[in-house]
A and B are shown apart, each in its own frame.
Chain A
C-alpha cells in the first residue's frame, strides 16, 4: 500500500491546505529530525571528503618507506600517528585506507546497487513471466550462496588472470602504475562485491514495481498507447527511485565490511595500496598489539567509526521511510 493511502485510511485529520509534498521530500524531512542519522550522515560525508582528498591531505606518500624511523609511536616528530614496520606514516596510510573504502563502496554501490539491481528489478517486476523467473532465480541462487566463501574463492582464482590482462593493457596503452600500486585489485574487489550486492536492491525495486504496475494510472498510460520504455521511465521509475537509496544505504556497511575481510585474507586490495584490511592484518598479532598498540588501534578506531556510521545511516533512512 502506498504511504499516503495509509494516512487517509488511518483517519488522521489531513490538512488539505498543506502544500503537497513528494515522498522523497517527506522522507527527507523525517530523516532530518533524527539527530543520530544526521550526525552519521555528516561523519560519512566528511570521511568521504577526506578519502577523496587523500593525495592533498596526507603528509607523505603512502609507499614511502624509511627504515630509520620505523615503528615510531604516535606524537613523534613529523609523524602525528606514528609509523609502521617499514617506517611508513600511519596517518597517511589511514587516510589512503579511507580512500580505498570510499572507492570500493562508491563503485560497488554504483554498479551493483544503482545500476544492476534497480534495472533488473524494474525489468523483472514490469515484464514478469520468464524475465522475472530468470532474474529472480539468479538472485535466489546468489543469495543462497555463502557469499564470503565464494568471494574469497573467486578472488583467489582470478587475481593472477586479471593481473596478466592489466599488464597487457598497461603495455598497450602506456598507462602504468596500475599493477605497481596495487590499484588493479580494485577491479576485482568491486567486481565480486557487485556480483553479490545487487540482489538486495533488485528485490526491493521488484516488489514495489509489482504493486505499482497494477495501479490505474499505469493501465491508463497503457491504454493511451505508451510504450513500455516510456511507462518504465516516466511512470514507474520516479516512484521507485527512493527505494534505491534505501537498498543502497542498508548495503554500505556490508560492502565495506566484506572488503575489509577480503583484504585481510589477502585476496582483496593488493599491497602496497593501503586498506583497512591490510592495516588491521599488520597490527593484529598479540605481540604487535602489546608493543605497538597504535598499529591496531588507529585504523581500528577509524574503520569502526565508519562502519558504525554506515549502519546508523542505513537505519535512519529505513526508519524515515517507514515513517517512525
Chain B
C-alpha cells in the first residue's frame, strides 16, 4: 500500500511533464501568438519582431520549454499577456478562489441530496418510487448544461426578475438586522450556477448509496442488530447508514473533478470570473503563460483527485488491493 502510494506520487511530476510539454508545443504550433493579439492596431512588423525576440519567442521550442519549466518549478508562471504588468499567478489566484467556492458549494449540495435520494430509493425498493428517483436523476444528468443555464437565465432573470442574469457577488451575503444580528444569506448570483453544477452529480451518489444500503441490509450484523430487538430506525441510522456512507469517499474526488470541468461552460455562459471563463480568454488571446498555468492547475487537480479516489478505495475497503492489476 505504502509502496503503491509512493510509486503513484513519484509518477505525478513525470505526468505533469508530459502534459505541460504537449500543451506547450500545441499552443506554440497553433495559429497566431500573444504578441500579435496584444499589438492589435500596431502592425509594424519590425516592432513586433523586436518584442518577440525580447520575450524569447524566437528561440527553439525546447529552449523555451526548459526556460518555462525552470521558472514554473520556482512557482513563477511569468507575466500575463492579457493583463500586462501582472504576473499570471496574480491574475489566476482570485479566480481560482471563485471557482473553488462554487465547487465546494456544489459538493455540499450534491452529497446530502444524493444520499437522501439513494436512501429513499433503497427504502422503497420494489415500489414505483425507486425507479422514478433513478430515472429523474438520470434525466437531470442527461440535460446539457448549456440548455439548463439558458432556460434558468430566461426564467428567473428575465421573466421573473428574481435573480441576476450573470456575474458574481461572492458566496454568502451577510445582512445585519438592526445592526446587531448577522444573517448569512446566499448571494443571489450563486443559484443558477449551482443548479447547473449539481444537476449532473446527484445520480452517481444516489446510485452508490442505494446499492450499498441494499447490500449492507443483507449482512449478518444487521440481522443480528434486528434480532436483538433494536428498533428499525436505530438499525438504519446506526448500522446501515454509517456503513453505507464509507464508499462515498471515493466519489467525492470524482465529483469535484467533474464540477471543475463543467465550470468551463457554466462560468463562460454566466460571466463568472473563475478559472473556467479565464481559460476561454486565455485560449482566445493566445496567452501562452496563462494557458500553461491553467493546464498545470487543471491537470494536477485531476491527477491528484484520481489518486485520492484510488487510495480511498483501499482505505475504505481493505479487501480491495490497489496496484496489483
Q: Which residues of A contact B (CB under 8 A)?
A: 36, 141, 143-150, 152-154, 156-158, 160-161, 207, 210, 253, 257, 260-261, 264-265, 276-277, 280-281, 283-287, 289-290, 293, 296, 300, 303-304, 307-308, 310-312, 315
Contact: A304 with B147, CB < 8 Å? yes
Known contacts A36-B135, A284-B269; 8 additional CB pairs below 8 A are A144-B303, A148-B261, A153-B291, A154-B26, A261-B265, A264-B265, A303-B144, A307-B142
Task: Let me know if B65 is at the binding interface, CB within 8 A.
Answer: no
Contact: B26 with A153, CB < 8 Å? yes
Residues of chain B from 280 to 312 with CB closer than 8 A to chain A in the complex: 280, 283, 291, 294-295, 298-299, 301-303, 306
At the interface, is chain A mostly helix, strand, loop or mixed? helix
Q: Which segment, of B43-51, B150-158, B229-237, B314-322, faces chain A?
A: B150-158
In the complex, which residues of chain B have a beta carbon less than 8 angstroms from the beta carbon of A296?
A: 147, 150-151
Q: Which residue of A lies closest to B265 (CB)?
A: A261
Contact: B144 with A145, CB < 8 Å? no
Task: Let me know if B146 is at the binding interface, CB within 8 A.
Answer: yes
B278 to chain A, nearest CB (A): 12
A306 to chain B, nearest CB (A): 9
A105 to chain B, nearest CB (A): 14
Contact: B144 with A286, CB < 8 Å? no
Option from B31, B144, B159 in Cβ contact (under 8 Å) with A280:
B144
Contact: B146 with A145, CB < 8 Å? no
List, sorted by A's number, 8 A–B pairs whose CB atoms are closer than 8 Å. A144-B303, A260-B146, A261-B146, A277-B146, A280-B147, A286-B158, A286-B165, A311-B141
Q: Which residue of B lies closest to A304 (CB)?
A: B143
Contact: B142 with A149, CB < 8 Å? no
A132 to chain B, nearest CB (A): 10
A213 to B139 Cα, complex, angstroms: 40
A144 to chain B, nearest CB (A): 5
A305 to chain B, nearest CB (A): 9
Contact: A153 with B147, CB < 8 Å? no
Option from A154, A161, A276, A280 in Cβ contact (under 8 Å) with B150:
A280
Task: Let me know if B30 is at the binding interface, CB within 8 A.
Answer: yes
Q: Which residues of B contact A (CB under 8 A)?
A: 15, 18-19, 23, 26-27, 29-31, 135, 138-139, 141-144, 146-147, 149-151, 153-154, 157-159, 165, 257, 260-261, 264-265, 269, 279-280, 283, 291, 294-295, 298-299, 301-303, 306, 325
Contact: B147 with A157, CB < 8 Å? no
B145 to chain A, nearest CB (A): 8
Contact: B150 with A284, CB < 8 Å? yes
At the interface, is chain B mostly helix, strand, loop or mixed? helix
Which of A150, A210, A283, A293 has the largest count of B CB atoms less than 10 A from its CB?
A: A150
Contact: A141 with B15, CB < 8 Å? yes
Contact: B283 with A152, CB < 8 Å? yes
Contact: A315 with B138, CB < 8 Å? yes
In the complex, which residues of chain B have a beta carbon less than 8 angstroms from the beta carbon of A158?
A: 30
A81 to chain B, nearest CB (A): 17
Given A146-B261, A290-B154, A290-B158, A308-B30 contact (CB < 8 Å): no
Which 4 residue pairs across A and B have the least CB separation, nearest first? Answer: A157-B30, A284-B150, A289-B154, A308-B142
Contact: A156 with B142, CB < 8 Å? no
A252 to chain B, nearest CB (A): 11
Contact: A144 with B30, CB < 8 Å? no
Contact: A312 with B261, CB < 8 Å? no
Contact: B150 with A153, CB < 8 Å? no
Option from A148, A260, A285, A304 in Cβ contact (under 8 Å) with B264:
A148
Which of A146, A157, A207, A286 has the largest count of B CB atoms less than 10 A from its CB?
A: A146
A154 to B269 Cα, complex, angstroms: 22
Contact: A308 with B139, CB < 8 Å? yes
Contact: B265 with A149, CB < 8 Å? no
Contact: B138 with A300, CB < 8 Å? no
Contact: A149 with B15, CB < 8 Å? no
A254 to B142 Cα, complex, angstroms: 10
Q: Which residue of A lies closest to B155 (CB)?
A: A289
A133 to chain B, nearest CB (A): 12
A264 to B265 Cα, complex, angstroms: 9
A146 to B23 Cα, complex, angstroms: 12
A299 to chain B, nearest CB (A): 9
In the complex, which residues of chain A have a beta carbon less than 8 angstroms from the beta carbon of B280?
A: 265
In the complex, which residues of chain A have a beta carbon less than 8 angstroms from the beta carbon of B159?
A: 290
In the complex, which residues of chain B have a beta carbon less than 8 angstroms from the beta carbon of A261?
A: 146, 265
A261 to B149 Cα, complex, angstroms: 13
Contact: A311 with B142, CB < 8 Å? yes
Given A144-B299, A286-B154, A157-B29 contact (CB < 8 Å): yes
Q: Which residue of A lies closest to B131 (CB)?
A: A36
Contact: B264 with A149, CB < 8 Å? yes
A141 to B165 Cα, complex, angstroms: 39
Contact: A286 with B23, CB < 8 Å? no
Option from B142, B158, B265 in Cβ contact (under 8 Å) with A304:
B142
Given A280-B150, A312-B138, A156-B144 contact (CB < 8 Å): no
A155 to chain B, nearest CB (A): 10
In the complex, which residues of chain A have a beta carbon less than 8 angstroms from the beta carbon of B23?
A: 150, 153
Contact: A144 with B150, CB < 8 Å? no
Contact: A160 with B158, CB < 8 Å? no
In the complex, which residues of chain A have a beta carbon less than 8 angstroms from the beta carbon of B19?
A: 141, 145
Contact: B158 with A289, CB < 8 Å? yes
A127 to chain B, nearest CB (A): 16
Contact: B151 with A286, CB < 8 Å? no
In the complex, which residues of chain A have a beta carbon less than 8 angstroms from the beta carbon of B26?
A: 153-154, 157
Contact: A300 with B144, CB < 8 Å? yes
A311 to B19 Cα, complex, angstroms: 31
Q: Which residue of B lies closest to A277 (CB)?
A: B146
